[in-house]
Structure 1
Amino acid sequence: MQGFPLAWPGMKIGLLGGSFDPAHEGHAHITREALRRLGLDRVWWLVSPGNPLKQRGPAPMTERMSRARRVMAHPRVDVTDIELRLGTRYTAQTLRQLKALYPGVRFVWLMGADNLVQFHEWKDWEWIMRNVPIGVFARPGARMAARGARAADEYARYRLPSFAAKMLPDMTPPAWCFLNVPMKPISSTEIRERGEWVA
């Protein structure tokens, strides 16, 4: 599949999706922690054409991809435009296609705790919970809210303790884990508001 990352059955691959508008050290930090704490072989950044939950459109794709590759220059991380190539708009659509394209690959969805708070608003969020293990990473200001999130509450019995996080990629969904990691107080919104978004 030209333009798609290589992967083979049995590989453990974390998927970090988002508009990355712009990518920053917080994204890179979560990625490095995911590789280490979850025992992943690789992480793919899924730079999305646009976020359906955000009113404002993102910066041009080429600019966001270019910056993301500079921010996350790591031999085990692929910055991709998979969603653009697949023509998918929602995470569940992307995951369905990736699971079909890469049979036997153990995908893990990665997200910050701020996304867990609104996860129940995502299209087909329960399908995601039931089909892909999820690693949730602490984010400034969202740790307590995430613990009371609807998804966290409804799927509480499927939560893996953080000390067993390396088991997550091998778990049969639903399975998720909340990881308290040293937090980076930075966000894409703040960078845009400060006018520091430079491709």
Structure 2
Amino acid sequence: MNRAAGEDWRGARIGVLGGTFDPPHRGHVRMAAAAREVLGLDRVFFSPAPHPPHKRDEPLSAWTHRRAMTLAAIQGEDGLALTGIELDSAPSYTVDLLRAASARTGADLYFIMGADSLADLAAWHQPREILGLCTLVVFPRDGRPVRVPVDGPAALVVFESPRVDVSSSAVRAALAEGTAPGDALPAAVSAYIEHNRLYRRC
């Protein structure tokens, strides 16, 4: 089945933001919107990973919930879209996501990430191939220095803002304790979580 049927991959510059999105928060949306505006991206696709390899032993919300929350997070945001091209890929490696995106568009690809993820890039599957498939767009996180930890040529764009100081794990922990996570979540995501009783201890 073609999971990307009906998705509009046309354009000269396409952004990709992959992640678990459990749940998606305002930091994700702000990064995507800033990258699109500053870099002139035609579109930024959010891709919730169905089978994130680094979280095989961790509890994870169903992909259907994470997809629905991501769609809620970007609803009404100009130029932000959702893709399902990873759904048939297990495990969900970033290099495979970028290959699938490259097969659907002749556009230059921009992979959006936080500095914390960049610091772990050397441990990712086929990191050098990732560098060859896209320009990395990196946002500050927790004061981490921005350095590509993989030998080889890399196209890199570093943003100084918005600084992403919220994490999905912190949001989950707050919700599990019955504490509202402030303004970390888009209102539609908060409503979805409440309606479906996600992240509660019981």
Q: TM-score range by the shorter chain?
A: 0.7 to 0.9
CA distance in 1, matches of 2:117, 2:170: 17
Alpha-carbon displacement from aligned partner over 1:90-140 (angstroms, at most 9, x marks no partner):
1112212221232x122111111110010110000011112211111112x
1:78 aligns to 2:77 (yes or no): no
Q: How many residues are paired up?
A: 175
Shift of 1:180: 0.9
Residue 185 of structure 2 corresponds to which residue in structure 1? none
Residue 186 of structure 2 corresponds to which residue in structure 1? none
The alignment's C-alpha RMSD in Å is 2.1
Structure with the bigger percentage of helix: 1
Residue 30 of structure 2 corresponds to which residue in structure 1? 29
Give the secondary-structure state (helix, strand or coil) at the position aligned to 2:65: helix
Residue 98 of structure 1 corresponds to which residue in structure 2? 101
After alignment, is 13-22 or 55-64 more displaced?
Answer: 55-64
Quick one: percent identity of the two aligned structures? 29
Q: 1:88 touches 1:94 (CA, 8 Å); kept in 2?
A: no
Give the secondary-structure state (helix, strand or coil) at the position aligned to 1:83: coil
What TM-score comes out, normalization by structure 2 length? 0.78
Shift of 1:45: 0.1
Residue 168 of structure 2 corresponds to which residue in structure 1? 188
Amino acid at match of 2:99: R
Shift of 1:88: 5.8
- Mind listing any 5+ residue stretches in structure 2 that lack a counterpart? 177-189, 197-202
Amino acid at match of 1:101: R
What TM-score comes out, normalization by structure 1 length? 0.79
Amino acid at match of 2:170: E
CA distance in 2, matches of 1:142, 1:14: 24
Alpha-carbon displacement from aligned partner over 1:151-177 (angstroms, at most 9, x marks no partner):
3xx45xx5xxxxxxxxxxxxxxx3111
CA distance in 2, matches of 1:25, 1:34: 14
Shift of 1:87: 5.3
Q: How does 1:1-199 map to 2 (within 5 A)?
A: 3-4=4-5, 5-8=7-10, 10-54=11-55, 55-73=57-75, 74-85=77-88, 89-102=92-105, 104-139=106-141, 141-144=142-145, 146-147=146-147, 150-151=149-150, 154=151, 174-195=154-175, 198=193
Q: 2:14 touches 2:108 (CA, 8 Å); kept in 1?
A: yes
CA distance in 2, matches of 1:185, 1:96: 30
Q: 2:140 touches 2:164 (CA, 8 Å); kept in 1?
A: no
- Mind listing any 5+ residue stretches in structure 1 that lack a counterpart? 159-173
Distance 1:41 1:70, change over 3 A: same
Give the secondary-structure state (helix, strand or coil) at the position aligned to 1:84: coil
Q: 2:109 touches 2:133 (CA, 8 Å); kept in 1?
A: no
Amino acid at match of 1:32: A
Distance 1:186 1:15, change over 3 A: same
Residue 164 of structure 1 corresponds to which residue in structure 2? none
